[in-house]
Amino acid sequence: MRGFIGILAMLACVACGPTGGGPSGGGPRCGTGQMACDGVCTDVDNNHDNCGACGMVCGGNLVCSGGFCRAPTPGPCSPSSPTGACPSGQSCTGGACVVPTMPCSAANPTGPCSDGMTCIGGSCCADDRACGAVCCSAGSVCFSDASGNRSCARRCATSSECPSSASCCATLTDGAGNFLDYGVCSPFIAGMTSCRCSSGAECSEGCTPRVGSDGIPRGPYTCTANGCGPYQHCTGLGSCGNGYCNMCDAQGRCYCAQVCSTSAMCGGAAGAACTTLARSNGSCSASQTVCVPQ
């Protein structure tokens, strides 16, 4: 009887062996989620060289997570990690988590627009057409009158482009007092000297270039009264002062222009050009060179 029991015990021991991932031929007894790799209990859920199974190495920059090779999870957003992770609804910008700004739209009527544009009423409007809460229509610009009141007006380069109800293409200046290359159509007022012109036919008397504080004619051309002074209209064969000639250009604009021999006398590259005009309107020769706006 005892011999029979010993044989049963020996048979039972044949089934004895390591558990929890140990090798069938003996080795460490490993816990849940581990396997015996080269005789060492290894966490195959997170081990780079044994990911999911012994000998499964994660390549490149991949990391082992949950037994699979995956792209690494970025760290928190910071100046040293400008593409790091942020809370839901935010993005990493310049190393800081920020709420993304919605572009200009009906849902965000003050959102950003591209350079040279302003968001008005949910739509991007060109800066020169942005007039408070109104975007001026195409072909119009926003300008301020002498009282600071802002309104939309038709854009123009010369008075002939304006309708009879607003026949003066009034000059405009920037914050530094420099003339802009366009004006706005406004009602003509007797005595005005700020209506832009391109030919003498647009004015009741003369169309002459505006002169800077340095005496250099820089433009634009505006309607002026007869005066025979520097860069003033001079009726008929009127005589200009010394150093000036009464000359007319191809557009029929006649005025007293400064005599010159080189462009340096006309302000150089930033000033006017020393050139001939179409004809003389006085005693000077038609070949006389004078300073005219570039």
Report if residue 147 sits inside a domain.
no
Report if residue 39 sits inside a domain.
no
Report if residue 53 sits inside a domain.
yes
Report if residue 200 sits inside a domain.
no
Examine the domain organization and report whether 231 and 284 are in the same domain.
Answer: yes
Q: Identify whether the C-beta of residue 245 lies closer than 8 Å to the C-beta of residue 232.
A: no
135, 160, 188 - which closes a domain? 135
Tokens matching residue 258: 């400064």
Give residues with Cβ within 8 angstroms of 287, minimum separation 6. Answer: 276
Report if residue 18 sits inside a domain.
no
Looking at residue 199, what is its pLDDT? 86
Q: How many domains does the chain have?
A: 3
117, 135, 153 - which closes a domain? 135
d(CA 257, CA 149): 37
Continuous H helices in the chain: 2-14
d(CA 2, CA 226): 144
Looking at residue 13, what is its pLDDT? 35
Q: pTM here?
A: 0.59
Examine the domain organization and report whether 110 and 67 are in the same domain.
Answer: no
Examine the domain organization and report whether 236 and 286 are in the same domain.
Answer: yes
d(CA 122, CA 132): 13
Looking at residue 26, what is its pLDDT? 61
Sequential pLDDT tens for the chain (294 residues) = 344 334 333 333 333 333 344 445 566 888 888 899 998 999 989 898 999 899 999 988 888 988 899 888 778 888 888 878 888 878 888 888 877 778 898 888 888 899 999 999 899 999 999 999 999 999 999 988 777 888 899 999 999 999 989 989 999 888 787 888 899 998 876 555 689 999 888 888 889 999 888 888 988 999 888 888 899 998 776 688 889 999 999 988 989 999 999 989 998 767 789 999 998 888 789 899 999 988
d(CA 249, CA 275): 11
d(CA 69, CA 59): 8
Report if residue 141 sits inside a domain.
no
Looking at residue 106, what is its pLDDT? 87
Q: Which is nearest to 250 in space by CA: 197, 199, 175?
A: 199
Looking at residue 190, what is its pLDDT? 57
Write out pLDDT tens, residues 148-180: 888 899 999 999 999 989 989 999 888 787 888
Report if residue 176 sits inside a domain.
no
Looking at residue 14, what is its pLDDT? 37
Examine the domain organization and report whether 66 and 114 are in the same domain.
Answer: no
CA distances from 287 to 6, 190, 252 (A): 137, 36, 17
Q: Which domain holds residue 130?
A: 102-135
Examine the domain organization and report whether 287 and 234 are in the same domain.
Answer: yes
Looking at residue 189, what is its pLDDT? 63
Looking at residue 107, what is its pLDDT? 83
Report if residue 23 sits inside a domain.
no
d(CA 14, CA 18): 12
Looking at residue 40, what is its pLDDT? 92
Greatest Cα pair distance, the chain, in angstroms, is 153
